[in-house]
Structure 1
């Protein structure tokens, strides 16, 4: 449940902050009357994200077991790829997110109402679709009934509340630090989702090695025990992974975490020209 709460919190807060920045910029620049088109774009993005999540849930329920496992495994791998790209992108751009969004909003205001709707739609829609996909695959991975979904919804609700406090000025957030540490935790969650996806693809007979276990500690950490449930909810832990699952988990987690935690290089300032030196062509 905690893993899904983290997903909802981080992804939802990213979308909430985007909306807050857009709304605050319109208000401060005297374009309050242009808020309805902005909210229309946000509403369309949210509706599309909910529809996408419903399509995944209800569309997969009518499939055969093998087809459902193949779909779940493929979408798990896809969602991990998208989330990995997203955490690295946000790590790189968190400090400059506000200015980038304001530049896009200025361009949209110059074009007209339709451009404003499209700008807000794409600004929020990407996060919404990524969130729907990753939450769906994470819920499927835990397989713990409705509790993972409740955790994700609580995370989203918390992110909306934090976004509102951020907009009102009651909360100051170091975005770079927040997205750095939640991104690191999300990499751990993504590794578990990826391992689950590999197991799904093995059950669908797309990948081999379903019965080749790396280890089996089910007697030590029972899946139905409180600590087994906790480990599965937080890390998507499985006490009896296959060799391929364990290998892919390690090959993803170790290099991705190492790259993510590397200190970012500050752009070097241009060296001053020597007096009398000719300017570069």
Structure 2
């Protein structure tokens, strides 16, 4: 539940910041006539990922075991790809997000302003699609249950409240530190989903090594124990992974962490010597 809560919280805050920037700019330039179109686009961006999540959850029923494993494994790897891209994209473009959205919104406001609908769908829908796909992958990896979905929903609700408070100026938050630490945690979660996806593809016969376990510590940390369940829910812990899963997990964590640290250091060096801005000034939200 905790992992999905943080996923929902992070993606929800990103979406809230984007909506806040769009709404504030529309009001600032005096185009309040397109606000209804903007919210219409946001609504579509919310509904579509929900539909995709439902399709992923109930769609594979009735398929053969091999087909289900192929779909599950393939989509798990796609989800990991989305989240990994999101982590690096946010680290690279966070400082320019406001100006980028403003320039796109200027173009979308031409004429009747229907381009605002498309901009809202694309900007917010991407966050929703990433959330739906990754939450589905983490739910599938722990064998279903309602806890992961509830965790993601609570994270999104929390993000919506925080986004509203940020927009109104009632609270301030150091978004740089927030995204840095949640990204580090999501790398660990994504590594578990990556290993799970490999396991699904092995069971489907697409990858070799199924049934050849690297180790088995299920007697020390039983998957059915409360602490085994907690570890499984947070980092997709597997007490008896295959060799390919272990290799995949180590490779993913090692490579992504190395590139993330490199990006973070480059970003830190780029801001060295500048006067530290207050938390409120670090928010990419226009008031």
TM-score by length of 2: 0.90
**CA distance, structure 1, for counterparts of residue 177 and residue 111 of structure 2:** 35
Structure 2 counterpart of 1:14: 14
Deviates more, 1:144-153 or 1:109-118: 109-118
May I ask how many residue pairs the two structures share in their alignment?
268
The superposition leaves residues 13-35 of structure 1 with CA deviations (integer Å, 9 ceiling, x where unpaired) of 11111111111111222222220
Alpha-carbon shift at residue 94 of structure 1 (Å) = 0.8
Structure 2 residue 258 is matched with structure 1 residue 258:
yes
**CA distance, structure 2, for counterparts of residue 103 and residue 38 of structure 1:** 16
**CA distance, structure 2, for counterparts of residue 56 and residue 159 of structure 1:** 24
**CA distance, structure 1, for counterparts of residue 65 and residue 3 of structure 2:** 26
**CA distance, structure 1, for counterparts of residue 206 and residue 114 of structure 2:** 45
Structure 2 counterpart of 1:246: 246
Alpha-carbon shift at residue 176 of structure 1 (Å) = 2.5
Alpha-carbon shift at residue 140 of structure 1 (Å) = 0.4
Structure 2 counterpart of 1:180: 180
**CA distance, structure 2, for counterparts of residue 8 and residue 62 of structure 1:** 30
TM-score by length of 1: 0.92
Structure 2 counterpart of 1:277: none
Structure 2 counterpart of 1:199: 199
Structure 2 residue 118 is matched with structure 1 residue 112:
no
**CA distance, structure 2, for counterparts of residue 109 and residue 85 of structure 1:** 29
**CA distance, structure 2, for counterparts of residue 159 and residue 63 of structure 1:** 36
Structure 2 residue 62 is matched with structure 1 residue 85:
no
**CA distance, structure 2, for counterparts of residue 208 and residue 55 of structure 1:** 29
**CA distance, structure 1, for counterparts of residue 37 and residue 8 of structure 2:** 26
The superposition leaves residues 112-165 of structure 1 with CA deviations (integer Å, 9 ceiling, x where unpaired) of 322111111111111111111111111101125111111111111111111111
Structure 2 counterpart of 1:230: 230
**CA distance, structure 2, for counterparts of residue 9 and residue 267 of structure 1:** 28
Structure 1 counterpart of 2:213: 213
Alpha-carbon shift at residue 111 of structure 1 (Å) = 4.2
Structure 2 counterpart of 1:102: 102
Q: For structure 2, which runs of at least 5 residues remain unmatched after alignment?
A: 272-287
**CA distance, structure 2, for counterparts of residue 216 and residue 78 of structure 1:** 28
**CA distance, structure 1, for counterparts of residue 197 and residue 99 of structure 2:** 37
Report the secondary structure of 1:264's partner residue: helix
Alpha-carbon shift at residue 173 of structure 1 (Å) = 2.6
Structure 2 counterpart of 1:59: 59
C-alpha contact (below 8 Å) 1:76/1:193 kept by paired residues: yes
Alpha-carbon shift at residue 267 of structure 1 (Å) = 6.1
C-alpha contact (below 8 Å) 1:95/1:176 kept by paired residues: no
C-alpha contact (below 8 Å) 1:87/1:183 kept by paired residues: yes
**CA distance, structure 1, for counterparts of residue 111 and residue 244 of structure 2:** 52
**CA distance, structure 1, for counterparts of residue 156 and residue 173 of structure 2:** 17
Q: For structure 1, which runs of at least 5 residues remain unmatched after alignment?
A: 269-281
**CA distance, structure 2, for counterparts of residue 176 and residue 61 of structure 1:** 42
